[in-house]
Amino acid sequence: MNILVLVSGNGSNLQALIDAEKSGRCSEGGRESGGMRIAAVVSDKAGVFALQRANNAGIPAITETPDKSLPREERQRELSDRILRIAGKYNAGLIVLAGFLSILRGNIVKAYSGRIINLHPSLLPDFGGEGMYGDRVHRAVLASGKKESGCTVHLVDGGTDTGPVLLQRRVPVLPGDSAESLAARIHREEHIAIVDAVIRFPELSAL
Ligand code: GRF
């Protein structure tokens, strides 16, 4: 199955997927699905390191930035439509949002219903939704006094961080944690979770 990976920044989760594919894990685990292959990477920000990671791996790296002249919803739809065309061009069977900060709206959500997955750095439904990304999530977890956080891979359903959960990995919140230390602990789990979710996607999405 061809995968389109969407990114906005550093791309360490993309790297985890690239490494898993290189090591043969995607083709092994995905045998039932005919194997998984990253067909292309799309970033909504120019010049981010994730694009370089794709280039280094010989994967087509495409930049599609939002059109700032459009009002918010239209801007999200227009970018989503461009990504939908790219997904079609690369015959993507699965779209993976690996640290992608734009919100997908409109046609792509219908055309790829049940075939778009997002990675979020908290135990959804807690600490998700509009504006909950990056360190804001971890700061909110620390402020809440929760003893546990983690990451979630879920299906994208047109809301923000609302689709059915495919898998979660948990980490403790430790005394003295900063947003950075908690983020780092969660990041390590994300790298495992995203690879796991892609390899087991046929099984997980059928549950
Ligand atoms: C991850 O924490 C992911 O959950 C969030 O953005 C971060 C991306 O990290 N949505 P990276 O770009 O994959 O290193």
What is the rounded average pLDDT of the residues 115-131?
95
Q: What is the pLDDT of residues 127-158, one digit of tens each?
A: 999 889 989 999 999 999 999 999 999 999 98
Note the pLDDT of residue 27.
Answer: 66
Looking at ligand 1, which residue's alpha carbon is closest to its atom 9? 99
Query: CATH topology for 2-205?
Result: Rossmann fold (3.40.50)
The reported pLDDT for the residue numbered 32 is: 44
Q: What angle do CA 53, 56, 60 make, to 5 degrees?
A: 80
Of 77, 52, 33, 82, whose CA–CA distance to 202 is shortest?
Answer: 33
CA of residue 193 relative to chain centroid, distance: 10
Q: Which of 138, 166, 187 to mutate to test the pocket of ligand 1 (most atoms within 8 A of CB)?
A: 187
- 160 vs 67: which has the higher pLDDT: 67
| 43 contacts: CB under 8 Å, gap ≥ 6 | 6, 7, 8, 50, 51, 61, 62, 63, 64
Give the mutation target among 102, 190, 191, 194 for probing the ligand 1 site: most ligand atoms within 8 A of CB.
190
- What would the 3-class secondary structure string for 116-130 be? EEEEECCCCCCCCCC
Nearest atom of ligand 1 to the alpha carbon of 12: 14
When pLDDT is averaged across residues 50-78 and rounded to a whole number, the result is 97
The verdict on whether 138 is a catalytic residue reads no
For ligand 1, residues with CB inside 6 Å are: 9-14, 50, 98-99, 119-121, 133, 187, 190
